[in-house]
Amino acid sequence: MSTEMKLKGRKALVSGSGTGIGREIALEFARQGADVVLHYAHSEAGARSAVDEIKAMGRRAEAFKANLGDVKEVQGLADKAIEFMGGIDSLVNNAGITFNKPFFKVEQDQFDTVFGVNIRAQFFLTQRVTKYMVNHGGGTVCNLTSIHGFSGAREHSVYAATKGAIIAFTRSLAVEMAHQGVRVNAIAPGWVTVDNYFKTIPGFNLEQAAKDAYNSVPVARAGTPMDIAKLAVFLSCDDSGYIVGQTIIADGGTTALMSLMTDFRTESKASFGKGYVPGV
């Protein structure tokens, strides 16, 4: 088994890395040899504890707070990260707000808040960081979107719109940046169990979640933050050097499953093709 660190010597900034997927990405980047700046808006304890873990690995790390609803703070986050590490060559845009509400009940300030954090902040953080990258040898950008950008779910019109925007933003920016030495790709996670589920979903517990995931996800389990962290490492290292502008879906087969075919583990009793296809 190879013990080579895929991100040795890299300098990374991971937004929204105080909890969940972002925190695991920051830790895995460090395990793979990178120095890491973490960002948090509310989860300071999680970000600070991750910093301690990363330092214990012998890497450099720091955590900075920034309100992603304020573009000046977004730009300031990039500047602080560059100053602390002496540069950035890997950016992971993980930060985002999950929001659900019936379409007719969505208010303008709710719309503006979700779009402000999920796409405007990502846009201007990337703008600031890639400007540095272009002038200092290139780098990689990995944007976190969601399967909500590919499949519809009730009460998620605003959230899904931001995630679809990230997919289009990734594709277009990648074409503009590739010849300047910056590769841009994205990850669209499916169901990944994170701390926020326990706070926002009434009665959520791991035992029932495992049963639900077994019945609804083709791979028979929910995803973990590490599933996404390993993919983020791949898209940020040299192994993915010819992958540009792509959104990689990591959802255990959720979007691959046709929703009309609810029982996907047993042989169908239907006989489509009878009379037309030999042997049916």
Place of tokens 């730009």: 75
**Distance, first Cα to last Cα, the chain:** 47
Q: Please give the C-alpha separations between residue 10 and each of 39, 59, 245, in angstroms, as whole numbers.
A: 17, 10, 21
List 140's β-bridge partners, or say none.
90, 183
Is 242 an annotated catalytic residue? no
- Are 225 and 24 within 8 A, CB to CB? yes
Per annotation, catalytic residue among 40, 159, 197, 276 = 159
Report which of 68, 121, 71, 87 is spatially closest to residue 13, judged by C-alpha positions. Answer: 87
Instruction: Spell 107-144 as b/e; 16+ CB within 10 A means b.
Output: eeeebeebbbbbbbbbbbbbebbbebbeeeeebbbbbb
Q: Residue 278: left (phi > 0), alpha (psi -120 to 50), or beta?
A: beta
Q: Please give the C-alpha separations between residue 134 and each of 68, 130, 181, 279, in angstroms, as whole numbers.
A: 23, 6, 7, 60
- Catalytic residue set: 159
